[in-house]
Amino acid sequence: MEFMTDKFFLLAVTFVFYIGARKLQRATGLVLINPILVSIAAIICFLLLFDIDYSTYHKGGEYIDFWLKPAVVALGLPLYKQLPTIKKQILPLLISELCGCVAGIVSVVAIAKLLGASHEVIMSLAPKAVTTPIAMEVSGAVGGIPALTAAVVVCTGIFGGMAGFKIMRMSRIKSPIAQGLSIGTAAHAVGTSAAMERSERYGAFSSLGLTLNGLLTAMLAPFVLHLIGAI
């Protein structure tokens, strides 16, 4: 049983569950069988079943976490390819990002408060639309729980990636630029990977959305939270 806590074994388990979940999605064609969501759920069940705690799992998992940062740097390439279009639309991009950022923080705080969430949970939710490293940083700075933020960020990303294009159809957002942009704004890198599956162009605007909203949230979140009296 001791072998179960070996970090390479736990790493292999992560890969196997993810590949299995991806195969399952391709075989069924169901959006709901999101490989990220399914593999997270399967790994948690596996860990609970064999009584392995998260810190043990993380000794293997951190080698995958490591790739998050280089992967975000790599988004610089699709972003570069879309520079001409970005230049042409700089004003619409900046204004819509600013509105999306503020609307996101205000709405998440308002809904959570209305439904009776505790102060620290509200603060953990406030930066949930942006990529994990920024969100955890902001969460800690405004008095939230960074671990809860990380979990909510990933779940938000999965939801945005799965339902994003449907929401856009319902709110009649048609231009590929606006679609890519809003999915990146609301669902950071996980949403971007969903956009990337459509095309590189969607992906590039999605990475622009995640970048701009990430920067704006990092700079504005504490200020916005003060302004609406949440802290």
Partner 1 sequence: MIAQFGILLSFLAAGEFIVWLTGINIPSSIIGMLLLTASLKAGIVKPSYVERLSNFLVHNLGFFFVPAGVGVMNCFGLISEQWLPIVAASVGSTVIIIAVSGQVHGFVRRALARKPQIIKSEAEA
Answer for which of 142, 177, 225, 230 binds partner 1 (CB under 8 A) is 177
Q: Vertex 57, ends 55 and 60: CA angle to 5°?
A: 115
| Interaction between residue 228 and partner 1 (CB under 8 A) | no
| Candidate segments 1-9, 25-33, 153-161, 223-231, binder of partner 1 by CB under 8 A | 153-161
| Interaction between residue 76 and partner 1 (CB under 8 A) | yes
| Interaction between residue 116 and partner 1 (CB under 8 A) | yes
Answer for which of 2, 27, 32, 171 binds partner 1 (CB under 8 A) is 171
Return the DSSP state at 29: -
Answer for which of 112, 123, 142, 230 binds partner 1 (CB under 8 A) is 112
Distances (CA, A) of 136 to 55, 132, 144, 158, 220: 18, 6, 9, 17, 15
Nearer to partner 1, 28 or 147 (CB): 147
User: Locate tokens 């890198």: which residue?
Assistant: 189
| Interaction between residue 176 and partner 1 (CB under 8 A) | no
Smallest gap, in angstroms, from Cβ of residue 215 to partner 1? Answer: 6
Cβ-contact 120, 110 below 8 angstroms = no
| Interaction between residue 139 and partner 1 (CB under 8 A) | no
Give the amino acid at 52: I
CA proximity to 11, closest of 72, 52, 69, 71: 52
| Interaction between residue 142 and partner 1 (CB under 8 A) | no
Smallest gap, in angstroms, from Cβ of residue 170 to partner 1? Answer: 9
Counting residues that bind partner 1 (by CB under 8 A) gives 112
Nearer to partner 1, 1 or 22 (CB): 22
| Interaction between residue 54 and partner 1 (CB under 8 A) | yes
Distance CA(80)–CA(77), nearest Å, equals 5
Query: For the chain, first and last CA: distance in Å?
Result: 48
Which token pair is 111? Answer: 């809904």
Distances (CA, A) of 23 to 19, 67, 164: 6, 22, 22
Q: Interaction with partner 1 in 4-23: which residues (CB under 8 A)? A: 14, 18
CB atoms inside a 10 Å sphere around CB 229: 7
Smallest gap, in angstroms, from Cβ of residue 23 to partner 1? Answer: 14
Answer for which of 40, 123, 224, 225 binds partner 1 (CB under 8 A) is 40
Smallest gap, in angstroms, from Cβ of residue 228 to partner 1? Answer: 13
Which token pair is 171? Answer: 């709110």
Smallest gap, in angstroms, from Cβ of residue 182 to partner 1? Answer: 4
CA proximity to 185, closest of 101, 88, 111, 109: 101
